[in-house]
A and B are shown apart, each in its own frame.
Chain A
C-alpha cells in the first residue's frame, strides 16, 4: 500500500518568513495530492491540492510543487501570519474507484510567532 512520509514534524517561523513542508510517497500510481490544515479540535480543511498532470499550483500565499520522478511534493507558504499556525497534513491517493483512499502523512505543527 501507499506510504507517506512528512517532514518536519514541527516548524517554527517568524511572521513574514516562508515555511516549507515536504512529503514523499511510495506508490508511483498515486495521482492526487491534497494538503489539509487542521486547527486544534477542528476538522481538516483542504487548502490546496495538486494532480499528477501538473508540477506546480499556486493560490495566493500558498503553493504546492510535485516531482513525480522523485515521488515527492511540497507545500510552500510565503509571508506567514500567526493565523497560519496549525497542523498541516499532506496526503496521497491513487485511482478513481469507489475504494480509492487517502493516505496521510503524520502532520507538521507550524508555529508562526508575531
Chain B
C-alpha cells in the first residue's frame, strides 16, 4: 500500500516553455501533498505544501507564480513550472500523506521527475 506515482519521469524542454508534472496517490487518499526540489548531491528542499481543495502554501523563496500547484482531488496534485529556464533544471519529487498518517507526518514519495531545460 501507500504507492505514489509521478509523471513524466523525465522531461526535456526549451527555455520559456511550461512543464506540468503530475503526482498521484494510487491506493490511498492524499489529504496533503508536498513538492520538493533536489539538486545533484543535495538534500530535498520543500517547495510547497498543498491540502486538497486549498491553495498551496509556499516556502520562503519559492515563487508561487512560477511554480503553480493544483491539488484538485484527493489523489492528484500537479506542479506546473511556468516559463522554465535552465536554472529550473532539477529533480522534482512529490510526496503524499493520507489521513492514516496525519497523526504524525509519514510521507510516501513519488519516483521523481528529472526536468532539463535547454
Could you say which of B62-70, B79-87, B104-112 contacts chain A?
A: B104-112
| A99 and B106 in contact, given A42-B112, A43-B93 (Cβ under 8 angstroms) | no
Flag B79-118 by CB within 8 Å of A: 1 or 0 each.
0000000000001010000000011111111111010000
In the complex, what residues of B have CB within 8 A of residue A46's CB? 106, 108
Q: Out of A32, A45, A89, A99, which one reaches B49, CB within 8 Å?
A: A99
- B17 to nearest A CB, angstroms? 24
Q: Which of B43, B103, B109, B110 has the largest count of A CB atoms less than 10 A from its CB?
A: B43
Number of interface residues of B (CB under 8 A): 24
- A33 to nearest B CB, angstroms? 10
- Docked Cα-Cα span, A87 to B81, in Å, equals 27
List the interface of chain B (C-beta within 8 A of A). 31-32, 34, 42-44, 46, 49, 51, 57, 91, 93, 102-112, 114
List the interface of chain A (C-beta within 8 A of B). 31-32, 34, 36, 41-46, 49, 51, 89, 93, 95-96, 98-107
Leading 9 A-B pairs by shortest Cβ distance = A93-B105, A32-B104, A43-B109, A98-B51, A43-B111, A100-B105, A104-B43, A106-B43, A44-B109
